[in-house]
A and B are shown apart, each in its own frame.
Chain A
Amino acid sequence: MGIQVQNISKNFGNYTALDQINLDVPSGELVALLGPSGSGKTTLLRIIAGLETPDAGSIHFNGEESTKRHVRERQVGFVFQHYALFRHMTVFDNIAFGMTVKPKGERPNKTRIRERVTELLHLIQLDNIADRYPAQLSGGQRQRVALARALATEPKVLLLDEPFGALDAQVRQELRRWLRKLHDEIHVTSVFVTHDQEEALEVADRVVVMNRAKIEQIGTPEEVYENPTNPFVFNFLGNVNLFHCRGTGSGEEKVPISFPGEATDGSVGYVRPGDIRISRTAGSAEDLPAEIVSIQGAGALPRIELRRLDTGESVQAELPRERYRELGLKIGEKVFIRPTNMRVFVPDYQI
């Protein structure tokens, strides 16, 4: 079931949580709402679920106006940040809850409920914990039980609020891969909120970057990472180097300024550390002289910190291991850097 969000606004007192949000979640997709805390992403999720009412705008499920529809009738599954498992019920009763509260006529019988719970326990790979209480489970297990509970009523839409927020790094990694796999199997339209860009880029089909009550960009993980439409998205999705630029006179092209006093036209070039090329000899006039300040050789991509000799600004670079070994860089060495893949923005607001 697709979700259409139209012109949704929400204020809490003087605080604007959402400002005229428009968003289309196509049926069967896994969409991430990504943004810093206070960007309004959780509020948007709660409005879609019906747990919050918008001040203005409307929510449509499959084109059908649902803004006024009660939470109970929206057929959504919701996974809370801290799971909100019923602490006095066993895992079995937690998962069965959604089925047992259905009105008499629609309620599945006991055997059917048992079957469905067993099925879900199998799906979340926790077949043997039906009789345990939430307090006896690890964080990762609780999260999966919460997911099974949300799926038990066969929701048309699955909403997850910071689903991996309270877990440690390794369980997080494991669970998000598992969630991706699960989604590929059951294809329920899903929206999840996160402030972790890595998580959003790795798991989602589509990423919605939010900031200050507005949507900054919507796109596939590759699109938003490769072609951020504004400095905020660029900054939020990873490390970045800034180069003050000047025009070259030939159309839109800009080049980094190459000595401290050189006039800029106000434009700023954004370059990811992985797009900084390091070489021993100057290949062209665009190459900038720099000195190596520190090297962090461990990890998948060795990180090099450099200081530009012309402007004195510091630059972060990441090299593939192979290239790193080939160059054999030393601290204090003088090299040349060339920013590639530079995106130039004329800043119209402060980050």
Chain B
Amino acid sequence: MSNQSLAVAPTVSAALTEPKAVRWLLTGLALAFLALFLVVPLLAVFVQALEKGVGAYWAAIIEPDALAAIRLTLIAAGISVPLNLVFGIAAAWAITKFKFRGKAFLITLIDLPFSVSPVISGLIYVLLFGLQGWLGPWLKAHDIQLIFAVPGIVLATIFVTFPFVARELIPLMQAQGTEEEEAALVLGANGWQIFFRVTLPNVIWGVLYGVILCNARAMGEFGAVSVVSGHIRGLTNTLPLHVEILYNEYNFVAAFAVATLLALLALLTLVAKALLEKKVRHTVKSASKPIGVE
């Protein structure tokens, strides 16, 4: 049977496809577009960064303010990603495995950070916690500074990256249904055992995928963080903010040198994402076809 279909395949595909010239033209157009808008800019970042040699490049990266920016970016991501991992899994677990009122509202709420402009997200925190804000006077009285300080940056980052893990998990867990959990329940497993031994192993690749995307956004976030940070060099500058400052000071080599770090992060993210996507697609496929249905 498979031999037959192999022999037949070429004629079928020839009948189903366009003339050669059209195919080449369309493929060429797509590639040219990709090159112009994606590959060339990416290369430009690296070329500009290395324009004055490796020495200048390296100097820009190990300069104290740059190191402080790297440290702050890692701190912000290091706090917000694990928190959003927990929130995201908890939200997806609640939404997909239980019935309750207001579920649709909760899903909308989780999507809110996607639909709000990042600058607005930042402003919300300034309006809430800033000196002129609602809680500002109380915070000042207790000597707590959130805005124009690290906690504000972390808060803004958490808000902006909140949906990534949950959004990734909800469709996956919905496709998997609750039968396996029910089976575990009848077999005597308690809630934690069901979660760690049945639910989590089934979605682990989806979780990793969500974390990778969440991390990329957390490290690259500009708008929201820019509003709450105050741009204090060496103190409240994250990597994207540091790039902007250097650029505005016409320090192009340094700006692009620091930018290469973010570009490398993006490339790494893409590779990890591509690898994980395969795994996730596989689990979704086996989930949408429940085990046992022939």
Quick one: which of A50, A77, A142, A149 contacts B292, CB cutoff 8 A? A142
Q: How many residues of B contact A (CB 8 A)?
A: 22
Instruction: Decide: A72 and B291 in contact? CB cutoff 8 A.
Output: no
Any A CB within 8 A of the CB of B197: yes
Any B CB within 8 A of the CB of A61: no
Q: How far is the CB of B289 from chain A (nearest CB, A)?
A: 10
Can you list 29 contacts pairing A with B, beta carbon distance less than 8 Å?
Answer: A49-B186, A51-B186, A72-B189, A76-B186, A77-B186, A78-B182, A78-B186, A81-B292, A83-B292, A84-B291, A86-B180, A86-B197, A86-B198, A87-B202, A88-B201, A88-B202, A97-B184, A97-B187, A101-B184, A101-B187, A101-B188, A102-B188, A135-B291, A142-B292, A143-B292, A149-B183, A153-B188, A166-B292, A167-B294
Name B's A-contacting residues (CB within 8 A): 179-180, 182-190, 193, 197-198, 201-202, 286, 290-294
Interface residues of A in 63-78 (CB under 8 A from B): 71-72, 76-78
Task: Answer whether A134 and B294 are a contact pair too, CB < 8 Å, given A51-B185, A72-B190, A101-B187.
Answer: no
Instruction: Decide: A87 and B292 in contact? CB cutoff 8 A.
Output: no
Q: How far is the CA of A168 from the CA of B291 in the complex (A)?
A: 15
Which B-chain residue is minimally distant from A73 (CB atoms)? B188
Q: List 17 additional contacts besides A72-B190, A82-B290, A168-B294; criterion CB under 8 Å.
A: A71-B185, A78-B183, A82-B179, A84-B180, A85-B180, A85-B291, A86-B198, A87-B202, A98-B188, A101-B187, A101-B190, A101-B197, A134-B291, A135-B286, A143-B292, A166-B292, A166-B293
Q: How far is the CA of A26 from the CA of B250 in the complex (A)?
A: 88
Which B-chain residue is minimally distant from A76 (CB atoms)? B186
Instruction: Decide: B291 and A142 in contact? CB cutoff 8 A.
Output: yes
Summed over the interface, the residue pairs from A and B with CB atoms below 8 Å come to a total of 84
Q: How far is the CB of B186 from chain A (nearest CB, A)?
A: 4
Q: Give 1 or 0 for each of A3-41: 1 = CB within 8 Å of chain B CB.
A: 000000000000000000000000000000000000000
List of A residues within 8 angstroms of B190 by Cβ: 72, 101
Instruction: Decide: B187 and A149 in contact? CB cutoff 8 A.
Output: yes
Q: How many residues of A contact B (CB 8 A)?
A: 33
Instruction: Decide: A51 and B182 in contact? CB cutoff 8 A.
Output: yes
Any B CB within 8 A of the CB of A225: no
Instruction: Decide: B187 and A98 in contact? CB cutoff 8 A.
Output: yes
Instruction: Decide: A87 and B286 in contact? CB cutoff 8 A.
Output: yes
Instruction: Decide: B187 and A153 in contact? CB cutoff 8 A.
Output: yes
Q: How far is the CA of A234 from the CA of B224 in the complex (A)?
A: 71
List of B residues within 8 angstroms of A88 by Cβ: 201-202
Q: How far is the CA of A77 from the CA of B185 in the complex (A)?
A: 10
Which of A98, A134, A149 has most B Cβ within 10 Å? A98
